[in-house]
Amino acid sequence: MAKTAKGVRPSGKGLYVDSPNQAKRVNSFSSDTDMGQEKLLELGNKETSEKTTDLSNTVSLEFNNYGSMAPFAMSLGQGLWAGEDNLNRSVSDSDFDNAIVDVIVLASNDDASIDYAEYNSYCFLNSFSISYPADGVSTHTFDFEGSHTRKFLNDWKNASVYKADFVNSTTAIISGANIEATHNPILLLVNQNIVSEISDSNDSITLTDAASDTNIVATDVDGSIAFASGDRIRIVVSGTGSTYTTLPNTPAGIGGLRRGHVVARIYNPAGNAENTLRIQSLSIDGDLGREELQEIGSKRPYDRRLTRPINISISVDITDTDLEEFAKLAGQETAYDANTLREIDFEDMLRNSVIEILEYKDEFAHTFANELRRIKITNVSFESDSDSASAGDTVASRTLNLSAENITISGSGVSPFL
């Protein structure tokens, strides 16, 4: 036994997604690997003739929502920024097609030195969730599916993944980072395939100083690797150091948005875009159902095609007070405000309502200058209504279930470390 480990605490888990920059405000992480073992049987043989496997893995990330675009942009494979400033980003329907990321988790037993790294590559985003509770902190959850995982230790334990761009058929480049002197290559992936790995004595990966960038040239057992424009190129490297990066113990800024930071509006375009009152919780769930596309000659799926339209489910829990929201969703706001509305027929519920959520960096001053991010869901349809009351409750409640196919998320974001 080489050493006695004390056990990895949550503070000893550092998460890196498609980037050497550590993700912030991560509340939880989980990964599951399934070998998908199948037993092959045959007549005349009471034993198993062969066991085959199809590896699959899932990764789930939960962030405390602090009003930044970074977690969403990162989970869509659009990068994570070290400073998180000037994040003028907008996420819309088309961004979910190629939402693919590589995830590395560094683990430390003492929060000081790295013990091992877990690598999950080519993970497709297959669902997301945004939750706004009145009695807690808003969260983002992102779920991924893939088919490749490895663990690194000893001299490969300080692993990180870098995005590389096409230069020509023989060269790719890591832009804005020169890592030749401080990092050693481990794996090179083009699209989802590992095209070169230095654990194979017939393969080679060479890093070369290119001013503020790093050039990559690689070979595999069959000879030089030919890059093509449009390839998704990722390189996994191991740093020469082994110090574990611990985030500040007392960071400034927003740790997580709470009820005072958030305003929700549920309305019909024919009515007024005013704040919706008495909301106890609001959740948005995006189902990015993907189909594995297989081909003869490749063990792994060559793609996980997004099924359209993207289904957005919205659940809103409200205190049971009056029927104002039902009147708005039925396009009867004017009559409701005039106290002339006598009936709401559920068959009159419209299918072009809007949900807007505005996030602010101040819990009291909801001004445009303080706005961090805005979520807008259009063509919202009414699905169902649930009325609930119990003798032990303080107040009765209602749950509105809505659906849509279009969501836009935009904002400049805020750094959690101001």
* Tally of structural domains, the chain: 2
Predicted confidence band of residue 5 (pLDDT cuts 50, 70, 90): low
Decide: 122 and 148 in contact? Cβ < 8 Å: yes
What is the spatial distance between Cα 278 and Cα 377, in angstroms, rounded to a whole number? 20
Give domain status of residue 180, yes or no.
yes
- Does residue 175 sit in the same domain as residue 214? yes
Residue-by-residue DSSP string for 350-395: -S-EEEEEEEESSSS---GGGEEEEEEEEEEEEEEEEEE--TT-SS
Which CATH number belongs to the domain containing residue 286 in this structure?
Answer: 2.30.110
- Does residue 110 sit in the same domain as residue 141? yes
- Does residue 26 sit in the same domain as residue 91? yes
- Does residue 232 sit in the same domain as residue 98? yes
- Does residue 306 sit in the same domain as residue 205? no
- Does residue 285 sit in the same domain as residue 168? no
Tens digits of residue pLDDT in 391-403: 988 888 999 999 9
Give the pLDDT of residue 418: 44
Give domain status of residue 388, yes or no.
yes
Give the pLDDT of residue 105: 95
Instruction: Give yes or no for residue 321 having a pLDDT over 60.
Output: yes
DSSP H or E stretch at residue 337: helix 333-337
SS3 11: helix
Give domain status of residue 41, yes or no.
no
Give domain status of residue 250, yes or no.
no
Give the pLDDT of residue 86: 53
What is the spatial distance between Cα 326 and Cα 319, in angstroms, rounded to a whole number? 13
Nearest Cα to 282, choosing from 398, 396, 389, 388?
A: 398
Give me the chain's average pLDDT, please.
89
Amino acid at 95: D
List the beta bridge partners of residue 399.
317, 386
Give domain status of residue 417, yes or no.
no
- Does residue 208 sit in the same domain as residue 127? yes
Give the pLDDT of residue 315: 97
Helical segments of 45-183, H only? 70-75
Give domain status of residue 308, yes or no.
yes
- Does residue 73 sit in the same domain as residue 184? yes
Give domain status of residue 296, yes or no.
yes
Q: Write down which residue in 211, 239, 267 finishes a domain.
A: 239
Decide: 76 and 60 in contact? Cβ < 8 Å: no
Tens digits of residue pLDDT in 64-99: 999 988 888 889 988 755 555 555 678 888 899 889
Give the pLDDT of residue 96: 92
> Mean pLDDT across the stretch 215-225?
89
CA distances (Å), 364 to each of 11, 261, 281, 375, in order? 32, 8, 19, 20
What is the spatial distance between Cα 377 and Cα 406, in angstroms, rounded to a whole number? 6
- Does residue 226 sit in the same domain as residue 280? no
Predicted confidence band of residue 3 (pLDDT cuts 50, 70, 90): low
Give the pLDDT of residue 254: 86
Predicted confidence band of residue 214 (pLDDT cuts 50, 70, 90): very high
- Does residue 279 sit in the same domain as residue 349? yes
Predicted confidence band of residue 204 (pLDDT cuts 50, 70, 90): very high
- Does residue 235 sit in the same domain as residue 337? no
Tens digits of residue pLDDT in 135-159: 999 999 999 998 889 999 999 999 9
Decide: 172 and 166 in contact? Cβ < 8 Å: yes
What is the spatial distance between Cα 105 and Cα 13, in angstroms, rounded to a whole number? 6
The pLDDT > 70 percentage for the chain reads 94
- Can you give the residue range of the structural domain that contains 347? 259-411
Predicted confidence band of residue 271 (pLDDT cuts 50, 70, 90): confident
208 HSE (CA, 13 A, CB side): 10
> Mean pLDDT across the stretch 181-198?
92
- Does residue 111 sit in the same domain as residue 198? yes
Residue 229 CB burial class (10 angstroms; 0-12, 13-18, ≥19):
exposed
Report CA dihedral (400, 331, 261, 15) to the nearest 10 degrees.
60
* pTM, full prediction: 0.91
Q: Which of 1-10, 280-289, 365-374 is the least confident region?
A: 1-10
